[in-house]
Amino acid sequence: MHRGKGMKFVGDSRVPADRKPNIPKDYSEFPGKTEAFWPNFLLKEWLVGAVFLIGYLCLTVAHPAPLERVADPTDSGYIPLPDWYFLFLYQLLKYEFASSDFTVIGAVIIPGLAFGALLLAPWLDKGPERRASRRPIASGLMIFGIISTVYLTWESVDHHDWEAAAEQGEMLDEEEEEALEDVDTNAEGYEIYTDQGCISCHGDQLQGTGAAGPSLYDTQYDADMIQEIAVEGIGEMPADQFDGSDEELEVLAEFVSNGGNPGNGGGDSGSEEESEEESSGDNNEENAE
């Protein structure tokens, strides 16, 4: 029974009735310098595997798996990024011809054609020729596919703001976490903070949302300055964000400058001087009262 070109290099492993004893086929039946898979070749493979494993472990030790802060679905300012092997698709969907009205092209047609062609390659390239150089169309399309994928991945990596990404995902340290719990969400100031939309850029706990708005805890501005910023904007923050009354503005500014607390109670809960465990512990208790 003939089963294709490769068959003459590797034996048919089915065992006929008359060859029941475990005697390997004579090596002379194979052309070239063949080697028994078990155990000779497997030991060499094992060696390659061991070398690979060492490199793999070095990588693991040198770069522990990353972990950002816990998922916060309300954080609308977060710039998302998929794992690197999906970046080509992510980047493709940013181009005009493949986004918004044409999303179907970027999300379905182009990847569908590429992966469909990959899946059906044996039927698209039916000729008997195996050498890559003798089937230029198939090889050319594959090389084009590789180059496009690499290019798109490269562009995506290049466009991404890695510093902002590292900052926006950073885990909160203990001090900040404690401060988070300090925010008095029942305060009048918090209500204004929510109503005026500050919350969408600066977060529900004044923690900031990375790229869109900075944290307001350890803000170095005093209440007067905060009033001014809320009205006139600063840096990337546009003007006229606040449209309430002057009294509300005052309450809001007081609230923010006190690290999410009304009045003078908890004061500078986020400031550096109180980073020692004891004092911040005391501070917490004070706030609770």
Partner 1 sequence: MLQRVYEWVDERLDITPMWRDIADHEVPEHVNPAHHFSAFVYCFGGLTFFITVIQILSGMFLTMYYVPDIVNAYESVRYLQGDVAYGTIVRGMHHWGASLVIVMIFLHTLRVFFTGAYKRPRELNWVVGVLIFFVMLGLGFTGYLLPWDMKAYFATVVGLQIAESVPLVGTLSKTLLSGDPEIIGAQTLTRFFAIHVFFLPGALLGLLAAHFIMIRRQGISGPL
How many angstroms separate the CA atoms of 195 and 112, rounded? 45
Token code pair at residue 61: 């030790």
Of 132, 156, 178, the C-alpha closest to 276 is: 178
Residue type for 275, please?
Answer: S
Which region, left, alpha or beta, applies to residue 221 given φ > 0 means left and ψ of -120 to 50 means alpha? beta
Binding to partner 1 (CB under 8 A) within 177-216 occurs at: none
**Contact between 90 and partner 1 (CB under 8 A)?**
yes
CA 169, CA 210: separation in Å to the nearest integer?
7
C-beta neighbour count of 91 within 10 angstroms: 22
Q: Which residue has the tokens 């040198």?
A: 62
Q: Quick check: 1 binds partner 1 (CB under 8 A)?
A: no
Of 114, 125, 200, 250, the one binding partner 1 (CB under 8 A) is 125
Q: Which of 148, 169, 191, 204 binds partner 1 (CB under 8 A)?
A: 169
> Is position 235 an interface residue for partner 1 (rule: CB under 8 A)?
no
Which residues, listed in sequence order, are joined to residue 237 by a DSSP beta bridge?
A: 234
When asked if residue 150 is in the footprint of partner 1 (CB under 8 A), the reply is: no
User: Residues 104 to 123: which contact partner 1 by CB under 8 A?
Assistant: 104, 107-108, 115, 118-119, 121-123
Q: Identify the residue among 1, 18, 54, 82 touching partner 1 (CB under 8 A).
A: 82
User: Judged by CB under 8 A, how many residues of this single chain contact partner 1?
Assistant: 87
Where in 11-40 is the site for partner 1 (CB under 8 A)? 11, 13-15, 20, 22, 24-25, 27, 30-38
Binding of partner 1 by 148 (CB under 8 A): no
Tell the smallest beta-carbon distance from residue 176 to partner 1 (Å). 15
Interface with partner 1, residue 5, by CB under 8 A: yes
User: Is there binding between residue 49 and partner 1 (CB under 8 A)?
Assistant: yes
Among 1, 18, 54, 60, binds partner 1 (CB under 8 A): 60
Residue 151 binds partner 1, judged by CB under 8 A: no
User: If you ran DSSP here, which 8-state letter would residue 68 be given?
Assistant: -
Give the Cα separation of 262 and 243 in Å (integer): 20
Cα-Cα-Cα-Cα torsion 173, 176, 180, 184, nearest 10 degrees, comes to 170
